[in-house]
A = this chain, B = another copy of it.
Amino acid sequence: MSAAAAVFRRELLLAARRPAEWAQPLVFYAIVALLFPLGIEAHDPALKVFAPAVVWVGALLAALLGVERIFRGDLDDGTLEQLLLADAPAPLLVAAKLAAHWLITALPLVVAAPVLGIALGLEPLAVKVLTLSLLLGTPTLMFTGGFAAALTVGAQRAGILLPILVLPLMTPAVIFGGGAVRAAAAGLPFDAPLYFLGALTALTVTLLPFAAAGALRNAIE
């Protein structure tokens, strides 16, 4: 357990070296949200229809783009070997690392979601559901992203393989998350998709670290 705490603290220390780090997903998010409306006329009613999708896809992309490097540096400098040789279950260490990443890069997104929702013209209830759905769903994004990063870190020119692996895995989260917000906006019951989202997160957070640790062991051989 203390080994996992050490890994967790190290990630936070690295993030603290760059105080701007936690703000970056937010900036990125804002840019993505800005880019979409650029494609259409201002005040198009379509904007509102798309709002849940824009927010969720933005979260997905932020998770996707940040997750790539999670294990790359550790593989390059040899830390990964040491982690897998450590006197602690590797899946636990992987989970600690991903949890720290979630805290640094995804939690700010959740906190900022209300602002974005209001800016995109969602009603108060829908904004609440949006925030809740992101809180429930971003761990899934982070852990699937981490799993895919583990799979590709060993491949010499993994190239763009990562997003392709990850997108199908992440799609369910986007469907349920976006679905809940849309339902809330339309005044329909929205608890079922939220339950699904919660179940998905529980599943991925407990199981994927094992798969990721296996993939990492494979990467260093």
- Tell me whether A66 and B21 are in contact (CB under 8 A): no
The answer to whether the Cβ of A44 comes within 8 Å of any Cβ in the partner chain is: yes
Binary CB contact string for chain A from 55 to 74 against chain B (1 if under 8 A, 0 otherwise): 01100111011101100010
Give the number of chain A interface residues (Cβ < 8 Å). Answer: 52
Listed A/B pairs (13) with beta-carbon separation below 8 Å:
A14-B157, A21-B160, A28-B167, A31-B164, A31-B168, A39-B50, A39-B53, A39-B54, A46-B46, A61-B163, A65-B65, A68-B68, A73-B157
Q: Looking at chain A's contact residues, is the secondary structure mostly helix, strand, loop, or mixed?
A: helix
The answer to whether the Cβ of A76 comes within 8 Å of any Cβ in the partner chain is: yes
The answer to whether the Cβ of A195 comes within 8 Å of any Cβ in the partner chain is: no
Contact of A24 among B18, B39, B161 (CB under 8 A): B161
New A-B contacts (14) at CB < 8 Å, excluding given A38-B174, A66-B160: A20-B159, A21-B159, A24-B159, A28-B164, A31-B163, A32-B167, A35-B167, A36-B50, A39-B50, A39-B182, A40-B50, A46-B49, A76-B76, A105-B160
Contact of A53 among B40, B56, B65, B178 (CB under 8 A): B40
CA distance A21 to B17 in the complex (A): 35
